[in-house]
Amino acid sequence: MAKKNILIVLSEYGFWGEELIGPLDTFDKAGYTVTFATPKGKRAPALPPSMDPKYVDPPLGKSVTSKEVADKVKAIDKSPRLDNPLDISKLMPEMPYFCSATLIRDLEAYYKAREKAKNEVLAKFDALLLVGGSGPIVDMVNNQRVHDIILCFLQMDKPIGAECYGVACLAFARELESRKSIIWGKHVTGHCKEYDYHDGTGFMGTDFNIGPPPYPLEYILRDATGPDGAYIGNFGKETSVIVDYPFITGRSTPDSYLTGQKMVEVLEKGLKRFGW
């Protein structure tokens, strides 16, 4: 069986450690090759609270990071493995402004460049994973180039995994012509309202803390899935991972390893549905 190749997108403003470590451990054990990508090609840092087993998650009132996981996060945060990620800003074109005097030609060039990136670069990957944390709110969720990567994987009918606030990228990924969310009619999970913070865990590389998340992810996902889909929060249950092919979504930190496991099952066993 051919070795699988996974593209993992990380925020340059900080990812939650276990949400990378869980799937990455699982992919490594499966013998997969992993390539990292960031919005502007800068090295992605782990958020400090995700490396601290003494950090108490405010909504849950307990630590969500074991010493074992914290040690693994510290190791990957210092590892050269995260060096030299794929630069998404160079890989994918920027959609032209509509005030352009040559809009039609510019749009034609944009779609041609996107197709080229799909065929020459993205086609070699078997699946995509969007890692969560507070950082994605800053540079992934409303990033048109990240959306276009997602759309390319959707066109290629390849699995798309997303965790925590990374799931918001799926809600906003839409083709310009229809402007309809790609998770319309699908079943997904993500950070539920009961687990939202009153004060955020901060962002790396900034001198501000915006406080709570700027949007309730649950509400966005409920609206984006529409009447024939569903947001499934599984509040009160220890884990929440939903597979509604091609999407594999994980609610939060405790779901990280299970998200990776389900992505492997999708790739190896053809899993199409889980958790609903």
pLDDT at 213 over 70: yes
For residue range 233-253, what is the model confidence (pLDDT) as tens digits? 999 999 999 999 999 999 999
Q: Which segment of 45-59, 89-103, 154-168 scores lowest on mean pLDDT?
A: 45-59
pLDDT at 209 over 80: no
Tokens encoding 130:
């969007």
Residue 88 burial (C-beta neighbours within 10 Å; 0-12, 13-18, 19+): buried
Look at the alpha carbons of 126, 166, 143, 171 in this order and tell me if their dihedral is positive or negative.
positive
Provide the percentage of residues in the chain whose pLDDT is more than 70: 100
pLDDT value of position 201: 75
pLDDT value of position 61: 86
* Nearest of 196, 202, 201, 130 to residue 159 by alpha carbon: 130
Architecture of domain 5-274: 3-Layer(aba) Sandwich (3.40)
pLDDT value of position 204: 82
- Please give the Cα distance from 50 to 35 (Å, whole number): 22
pLDDT at 200 over 80: no
What is the helix (H) or strand (E) element at residue 25, kind and residue range?
helix 17-29
- Please give the Cα distance from 83 to 148 (Å, whole number): 23
Q: How confident is the model at residue 164 (pLDDT cuts 50, 70, 90)?
A: very high
- Please give the Cα distance from 82 to 85 (Å, whole number): 7
* CA 35 vs CA 7, 27, 127, 155, 269: distances in Å: 5, 11, 11, 20, 22
What is the helix (H) or strand (E) element at residue 144, kind and residue range?
helix 144-155
For residue range 115-159, what is the model confidence (pLDDT) as tens digits? 999 999 999 999 999 999 989 999 999 999 999 999 999 999 999
Quote the pTM value. 0.96
Q: Which segment of 102-106, 211-215, 220-224, 225-229 scores lowest on mean pLDDT?
A: 211-215
- Cβ pair 133, 222 in contact under 8 A: no
Provide the percentage of residues in the chain whose pLDDT is more than 90: 86
pLDDT at 219 over 70: yes
Which residue is associated with the tokens 């992934």?
140
pLDDT at 262 over 80: yes
Q: How confident is the model at residue 60 (pLDDT cuts 50, 70, 90)?
A: confident
Q: How confident is the model at residue 29 (pLDDT cuts 50, 70, 90)?
A: very high
- Please give the Cα distance from 52 to 66 (Å, whole number): 8
> For residue 20, which amino acid is it?
L
DSSP string, 48-106: GGGG-TTPEETTTTEE---HHHHHHHHHHHHSGGGSS-EEHHHHSPPPPPTT-TTHHHH
> For residue 243, which amino acid is it?
V
pLDDT value of position 1: 58
* Residue 180 neighbours by CB under 8 Å, 6+ apart: 174
* Nearest of 265, 268, 234, 266 to residue 250 by alpha carbon: 234
Residue 202 burial (C-beta neighbours within 10 Å; 0-12, 13-18, 19+): middle
> How much is the mean pLDDT over the chain?
95
